[in-house]
Structure 1
Amino acid sequence: MESYLSSSIKQFQYYKSLGDRTFHQLSFEAIQKEISKDSNSIAIIVKHLSGNMLSRWTNFLTEDGEKEWRQRDLEFEDSYTTREALIAQWEKGWQCLFAALTSLRSEDLENIVFIRNQGHTVTEAINRQLAHYAYHVGQIVFLGKVLKGKDWSSLSIPKGHSKRYNEKKFSKEKERRHFTDDL
């Protein structure tokens, strides 16, 4: 179970890094751009993710993950006036998540936590949030790629480079490591 916790933390770190690397490629104006009517901009997705993280991971083991103070509907209104404010909110959400995860012990994983009065084991709650955040970070990356167009720098294996990437991987000795260790 210790490997589950460390693997989960690495997975969350990976998804955060995808968002970070997307923001690095975009202007603040691009981050705020809605590509169609009623779609979510990257800024709105960031606001929603941060709101979700703060709600879910604050007092994770002792309080319902849907806090009374959360104003979820407002998360879908872009109120950021600067890139710095957006990045600060992004970081605040992730810091809350990592503080909660790193405080967990393997014996906590079967404890029951609640999200909107629905009981989850800690493992189930982690899996739920990992899937939710991967979904939204995927949206951020996709929007970044659409907005940047031909000037996008791939965050994974660029098209046409699979053979070279695999050759590099298979030239190394077999060993147990997380796939993000080489990124």
Structure 2
Amino acid sequence: MPDTQSDVAHLYLTDVRTRMRNLKALGEGALVQLTEADWHTVLSDGGNSAAVLVQHLSGNMHSRWNGLRHGYQAGLDGETAGRNRDAEFEDGKLSADKLRGVWDGGWAVFLETLDHLSPADLTRTLSIRGETHTILEAVQRQVMHYSGHIYQLVLLVKTLRGDGWQTLSIGRGGSAAFNASMREKRP
């Protein structure tokens, strides 16, 4: 008899791994359009630059997921004691190359953790700032969080590039042609 709960958990993990890799690629599609100076540009007082968004995402990914990187461990806290979250929102004026390394490092931790999670892990618990979450809840919390910041990044870069923006999705006026090409690909 099939284990429906395990099947759903497996489907969820497969889907979230794919979607988060696609989200990373979306962010990278925006980042490659930045000039060196653009990395540190904010659109308004109190706003975040691309550099700050990258620093924050990476800091969060390291804090939340490094302890689970090689599989579940009971008693884990997803807010590491050494994290300085406030410093993530201060532009360290790192070069574009260093910021790409920060980006890659954070995503490596998060994606490796997703790859090591098993369906059974999703109902296990961890703490984030003293609040208990199932692994499923913690993953979903971060899916929302990371998506929000990636779309901030896309808007920031799109605004900075103006007419030079290279779209990361279906371009305006291109829906009919895109839909037709998708239909042609179907058997």
Q: What's the % identity of the aligned pairs?
A: 37
Asked if 2 retains the 8 angstrom alpha-carbon contact of 1:80 and 1:86, the reply is: no
Question: What is the identity, as a one-letter code, of the residue corresponding to 2:108?
Answer: Q
Instruction: Verify: 1:53 aligned to 2:61, yes or no.
Output: yes
Further displaced range: 16-25 or 129-138: 16-25
What is the alpha-carbon root mean square deviation over aligned residues? Answer: 1.1
What is the TM-score with the length of structure 1 in the denominator?
Answer: 0.91
Distance 1:86 1:153 in 2: 21
Question: What is the identity, as a one-letter code, of the residue corresponding to 2:26?
Answer: L
Question: What is the identity, as a one-letter code, of the residue corresponding to 1:38?
Answer: G
Cα deviation code 1:134-173 (max 9, x no counterpart): 0000000000000000010100011111111111112232
Map 1:10-159; keep pairs closer than 5 Å: 10-60=18-68, 61-62=72-73, 63-159=76-172
Cα deviation code 1:32-86 (max 9, x no counterpart): 1011111111110111100000000011343211111000000001113311110
Say which of 4, 9, 20 aligns to 2:17: 9
Asked if 2 retains the 8 angstrom alpha-carbon contact of 1:57 and 1:96, the reply is: yes
Map 1:163-182; keep pairs closer than 5 Å: 163-173=176-186
Residue 178 of structure 1 is matched in structure 2 by none
The alignment covers a number of residue pairs equal to 174
Secondary structure in 1 matching 2:48: coil
Unmatched 5+ stretches in structure 2: 1-8
What is the TM-score with the length of structure 2 in the denominator?
Answer: 0.89
